[in-house]
Structures are given as structure tokens and as C-alpha cells.
Chains A and B, each alone.
Chain A
Amino acid sequence: MLVAPSPASSQYFRQRESNIDPKIFHIDDKTFLGVKLDPALKLKDGTGREFTLKEMLETPLILVFSYYRCDGSCSAVNSALKALLEEPGRMAMGQGFRVLTLSFDEHDDAVTLGKFATDLDLPEEWKEKWTLALFADPGDIKRVTGRVGFKFFWSAPDMTFFHPNVLIFLSPDGRVARYLNAMSNDRQDLDMAILEARKSQFEPHEIVDYVASLCFSYSFKDGRYVYNIPLFVGAGSLLLGILLLVGSLVIFKKKKVTTREEA
């Protein structure tokens, strides 16, 4: 699945430079949905502390592959996510989900991570829930990114990686529940994807959220959630049925006399 950076592909990109076919980075999400990431995957944070993916997975997890030397889209993606999470949503940051920004660049280290974190400037109270991390063993990078269909290319002339800007929603058992385009969705899409990643394991007080989520379904073509129209049609027709019932019980009272006389 993974196309490794190679002279040939660099050349390919040089010729097309600013005109890269975005389809190369398209993740065929139907192929990768449900893929399980190894919970024992070792990661390390900016302080060098090692931890496993499993520790992040008590709740759904939003996984963002970035690289910290990036001065373009990666900052934009993380900032956009931060901005979305600052918007009022169904779930407050950190309640019911966490975020993991993970570098796919083997050259990243604690220093570049630290600089990236400073630029991102997460609020203090978020820092427990939004972790910026590196692969503890850079040898895992290709395997893990390849497993979820995340492709990237190093373009030497541009001194930059080309990669998809995608949010990956992992369920608590470490399976990919949904991909969302990192740049073109709103808070509601985010909430919906988190609810989906929970596999319906919601708390009783969240039942309203859950019912609301039934009104939407994911459109693979649009890459976002759209209204689940048949549900509304169905609900409307049920209402019609109930109205018919109530109607026949109450409205026809007058009819009684006339019919009996006719007959």
C-alpha cells in the first residue's frame, strides 16, 4: 500500500510541482475502515517518556499524522482541529475522546516537537488530553501508516512531505472507525465521528446526542455527514399513520347518523 519515497517519485513530483493530483493521497476509506492498530505500539512524547497506544485508547481517539518540521499544512491541520474543538460542541475537549498528533517523519525529535507545540499553543487544560508524540521506534512508521492507508512522499526540491490531511478516528479497541478530511468539516462532523468511534457505547445522559446522530449518515463521496433523509421520510409517514388513526377515531362522529339513515 505504502509508496516509499524514491527518486522516481521525486522526479514525478518535480515535473508536476504545484499541480499534484490529490487523488494520489486519497485514502480509499472503505478498504481501511475497521483496520486494527496494534495497541502495544510504542510511542514517546516531548519529554521522552515512552507509552503505548493502548494508554490513549480508553476513549475514542482522533489520530493526526503530521510532521513537526512542516511549516505548511501540518500546522494548519492541527490549528484547524484546535479551532474546531474550541467551538461549542456536544462533547467538551477531552470528555469522551482524546487527540494524538503523531509524527511520521523519522527525523523529528523532541526539539522539533517542542517547537511545533509552542506554535500550536494548546490551552493548558488540554495538554493532558491532546498528546503530541513520536514513534518510539521509527521502524514502525511505514508499517503503521501503511496499515491505515496513509501515504506520503518526500519531495526533495520542495523540502517537504506531500501527505493527506486527514483525521483518523479510532475506536477504543484501536480500530479505524472513520476518516474525515482535516480541512473541510465542521464541529458537527467531528462529534458524529466521535460518536461513531464509540461503537454506540454511550452514557445514559448522552441519549439525546445519540438519537440526534441517527439523523445523519456518512457520505463517502462528500467525505462528511449528511442528513439521513429516509429516516425523516419514515418518521413522517409514521406520523401520517398516527394522524389517520386519530382522525378516524374523532373526526367522523357526524358521519354515524347519516350513514345509518341512508342504509
Chain B
Amino acid sequence: MSAQSHGFSLKEWIFTTDHKRIGILYLIGSVAAFAVAGIMALLIRVEQSSLGPTVFGSIEDAGNHYNTFLYFHGAAMILGFLIPGLTGFAANYFLPLMIGAKDVAFPRINALSVWLFWAGIVMALLTFLVPDGPDVMWTGYPPYSIKTGANTAFYVFTVHLMGFASILGAVNFLVTVIYMRAPGMGWNQLNMFVWSTVTAFIIQLVFVPVLAAAVTMLLFDKYLGTNFFNPDLGGDVLLYQNLFWFYSHPAVYVILLPALGILFEIVSTMSKNPIFNYKAAVYGGMWGIVLISGEVWVHHLYVSGMPNWIRIGQMVSTLLISVPVGLLTISLFGTLFRGAITYNVSMTYAVSCLFLFLIGGLTGIPLAMTALDLHLSETAFVHAHFHYIMGIFAAFSVFAAVYHWFPKMTGKIANERTGKIGFWFNFIGVNVTFIPLFKIGVEGMPRRYFDYQMFPQFETYHMIAMVGALLIAVGIAITILNWIMSAAKGERAPENPWNSASLEWTHCPSPPGPGNFPKDVVVTADWTPYDYGRKK
């Protein structure tokens, strides 16, 4: 029945075009990136935990290595873990199952996509092997990225590979959703996760080429002597920042939307409640975000000396993001109302995400306001804000997804007890790490500092943050080990352990075999993936 029951064949995995195996390959790659980038985060916290160079002997060593760690942590977490974890792993494995398709529209392109992603991971990891690994942060602002002695090229190629992988994925999944839904499945019957993936991929497809073009010009400037960003010769320093954020702000929605989609699935399933105001969430919330996502990037450039009128205009558009996000929040919270909630590990993660989302989302509001941002920009406050909303919130939703669909992927139940222990380490850890950073951020602690001799009063807070990071490290280790152990010798799972109404649980075995569904799926007009049997 399952693919695995035929025994393990490396060749089969390498040449696979099965969306489920590709999803697993994405998961392994992104968890690997997450682990290495997480170790970098730990080193960063340790380095900051006391004044002066902590891990390294000299300022030069500390400066150079610390900056490489920061670069790798940012680039690998965003490009190697969050985006591929959500739009690579989750979309690949679950989306075709949710729409009742046997595979994606272009299975071979899908295979190419995952191996490009793996090449990107390798390219990123080369940071630690080549002399002078990139130290340009994940933003790569010129002129620094051009003037630095480090090898910016590895940054550029990583972006290229990940970007190309993502574009292929986007085309593939958009076509799949449009043309390969089960007969009878209308647009208002799609899973929230399917909608969130569609909207995320639309953003990805439209904006990734801009990032690719921007970093390519960076490459030419550094190695071929062009002057795209050299002000002496008519280049424009600020233009790179504009192009970069023109992609990279929408990119946070590429992360946010699927993360929210996963939460909708889990919250709905575990509350046995249909989505509250589905249409407002999809058409107002998700499509609203798509619509606004391209007009707010300048809030990353409030301090860059953009013309005043643009800064004011983008303050208004940035604040207006709260409208679609607010609609999604109401739907998500409303789905709990009069529910019948059971708490397994994935629901525990999902519930914690509701609060992470509030903290991360609301702290974005002062950052949207131009004048307030002038003080907060590039401080630990920003750092804590986007770690809550983009880092932890999205990472927790990936963990929740793995736990929720673990029986689907492996046929086994992940150990609940160990899972919850891991959760509490993670949840307490992230708050211990980042709440102090909010505080010292407002008081002026700049980002990307390994030493802060001008602010010795912040040392205690950094020490607390390091303790939090250690807690997270323990939690993550427990979580990943739990997955591996449970997959190897976990308890056999029932076919539909959470009593979900979604197609991947009701119509196909766990794990699904080739072709996914034993019988072709046809859905009726009154079917929805959130019908838990109330009206029958």
C-alpha cells in the first residue's frame, strides 16, 4: 500500500517525481537549513550575552565570524527554511491531497524544483567552507556588499537557486489548483491552506524575478565592474534597497499566508468547527494581502532618506494591511467560538501561534508609523517584532503542520508527551529570548551588534535572551528527535486520527500510495473540507 513498504531505494528517492516524496525531500532540506541556522542563532546569542568579544578572542575575529553567522542565519532561515518549509514541503505534500489530485501538473518540473532547492542549501552551506564567506546579511545592501572582501557571489547564487526553485513551484501549483481539482470542487470549497498557497505563490511568482534581477546586478557590480549601484557613475544606492524590499516585503506574506493556512486547518479540525466567515477570510483577507503586498515596501526604507511624500503614503498603505490581516484574525479566532476543542501537540502549537501572532502583528503597527519607526528602526525592537511574526509564528506553524499530518506522512502517531515537552521548551524559550529584546530595542539597542560597549546596561537582558535561546535549542532537539523516533517506531495511527473532514484524511490511506487516492475523488456541491457532520 505505501511506497515505503517496498523497501528503501536511494535511486527511487533521487529520481522521484511523486509530490509526496518531493515534499519529504523539501522537509528534510528545510529542517537541515533550520538546524544549522539555529546553531548560528545560538552562537549569536552567546556572543551577545556579555560585553566585548565573547566566543572569539579578538574584535576582528568576532566581527568577521559574527557577521557571517548573521548572514547565514537570516538567509538560511528565510530562503532555506521558512519559504521552502511552507511552500515547498507543506504545499507539495498536502495541496494535491486536499484538492483530490493524483499529483501536481508538472511532476518532473517539481523534481527539478526540489533539487534546485537542495543546490541552494549546499550553496548556502558553502559559506562555512569557502574563505571569506558572505557577510552581507540576507539583505546584501550595496555599496557594502560590493566593497566587502567577502564572497558576495555565494549569496547571489543562493538567491538565484532558491528563487528559481520557487518560481517553478509557483507555476506548478497554480496550474495544479486551477486545472486539477477533483470534479465538482468549486472555489468556495477549497481548504484554507490551498487558498493560502495559491495567494502566496501568486506573490512569489510576480515578485521573485525582481529580487533575482537586483542581486544579479549586485554580482555584476562586484565582479564585472559595472556601475548599477555606484553613485559616482550614475548608479543609485537606494534603488537596490527599493528593488530588494519590493520583493522581500511581499515575501513575508509568502511566509505568513501558508502559515495562517495551516493554522486554519488545525484550529478548524481540532475545534470541529467550520471556518468562521470563510469568504471574508479568503476574499477579503488573503486576496486583500495580495493586493496590498506590492505597495508597502517603503516602510523598510523609512530611515533611508526617501522623499517625504512617499514615506507618508506608504505609512498609510502599511497601516491598511491591518484590514485584511484583521479579517483573517477574526476568522481564525472566530473558528474557536462554540467549538469542541481537543488539545493535541499540533493544536497546542496552533494555539500558541494565536498569541505569537497578536504580539508580532501588533508590534508591527508602531513600525508602520513613519515617525515612530525612525527611532525603532534597526533596533532590537524590530528584530524581536519580525522574529515573533515571521520567525517563530511561521516556524511553530511548520511544527504544528508536521505534528498534524505526521500520521498522514508516516502512518504513525508522533509521541504526544515528548511533543508537548518539546513545545513548552520552545514556547517558554522564545518568549524569554525575545521579550527582553523588545525592551532594550525601545531603549536603543541596535541590531547586528556583537558588542555594545556604549550600552553596558543591556548586558543582563542579553544574558536572559541567551538563556531563552538555550531553552529553544533543547526544545528543538527534543522535537526533531521525537519526529525521527516516532517515524521509526511510533504507534500505528488510525486512518483519520483527528476526525478531519478534509479529503487527505477521508479519501486516502496513510501514507498515501502512488496516485494518492484508491478511487477517483468526486465531490458534491454541498461538500466542504470543514463539514464535521453537524447538519447531518
Residues in A lying within 8 Å of B, measured CB to CB: 199-201, 217-222, 225-231, 233-234, 236-238, 240-242, 244-245, 247-249, 252-253, 255-256, 259-260, 263
Contact = CB atoms under 8 A, between A and B. Distances in A.
A233 B244 CA distance: 13
Contacts of B206: 238, 241-242, 244-245
Contacts of B235: 217, 230
B362 interface: no
Contact of A234 (B178, B179, B208, B210): B210
B144 to A, nearest CB: 17
Contacts of A221: 232-234
B287 interface: no
5 contacts: A228-B236, A230-B213, A230-B243, A245-B174, A259-B105
Contacts of A230: 213-214, 217, 228-229, 235-236, 239-240, 243
Contacts of B205: 241, 244-245, 248
Q: Which 9 A-B pairs have the closest CB atoms?
A: A219-B234, A200-B307, A226-B234, A256-B179, A237-B213, A237-B209, A263-B102, A241-B206, A241-B209
Interface in B233-292: 233-236, 239-240, 242-243, 246
Among A228, A230, A245, A256: residue with most chain B CB under 10 A: A230
A262 B323 CA distance: 44
Contacts of A249: 174, 178
Contacts of A222: 233-234
B374 to A, nearest CB: 18
Given A244-B205, A245-B174, A256-B180, 8 more contacts: A200-B309, A233-B213, A234-B210, A241-B206, A241-B207, A241-B208, A252-B105, A256-B105
A218 B307 CA distance: 16
Nearest to A200: B307
A255 B213 contact: no
Contacts of A229: 228
A240 B105 contact: no
Contacts of A236: 213
A231 B239 contact: yes
A241 B178 CA distance: 18
Contacts, number: 112
A231 to B, nearest CB: 6
B390 interface: no
Contacts of B178: 249
Given A230-B239, A237-B213, A217 B207 contact: no
Contacts of B55: none
Contacts of A234: 210, 213-214, 239, 242-243, 246
Nearest to B520: A260
Given A217-B234, A220-B232, A237 B106 contact: no
Nearest to A245: B205
Contacts of B105: 252, 255-256, 259
Among B180, B207, B210, B214: residue with most chain A CB under 10 A: B210
Interface in B173-201: 174-175, 178-180
A199 B229 CA distance: 21
Nearest to B234: A219
Nearest to A216: B234
A219 B103 CA distance: 53
B246 A259 contact: no
A225 B234 CA distance: 7
A222 B230 CA distance: 13
Contact of A219 (B229, B233, B515): B233
B78 interface: no
Nearest to A222: B234
Contacts of A200: 307-310
Contacts of A228: 234, 236, 239
Nearest to A225: B234
A238 to B, nearest CB: 5
A241 B166 CA distance: 12
A201 to B, nearest CB: 8
A263 B516 CA distance: 10
B449 to A, nearest CB: 29
Interface in B487-518: 515
Contacts of B174: 245, 248-249
B124 interface: no
B217 A233 contact: yes
A260 B521 CA distance: 13
Among A220, A231, A248, A249: residue with most chain B CB under 10 A: A248
A221 B233 CA distance: 6
Contacts of B107: 259, 263
Contacts of B239: 217, 228, 230-231, 234
A253 B202 CA distance: 18
A205 B313 CA distance: 17
Nearest to B202: A245
B366 interface: no
Nearest to A250: B178
A237 B235 CA distance: 18
Contacts of A240: 209
B231 interface: yes
Contact of A220 (B175, B231, B308): B231
Nearest to B231: A220
B424 to A, nearest CB: 42
A233 B217 CA distance: 9
Contacts of A263: 102-103, 107, 515
A169 B309 CA distance: 21
Contacts of A241: 205-210
B212 interface: yes
Nearest to B217: A230
Nearest to A263: B102
Contacts of B209: 237-238, 240-241, 244
A195 to B, nearest CB: 11
Given A200-B307, A241-B206, A260 B217 contact: no
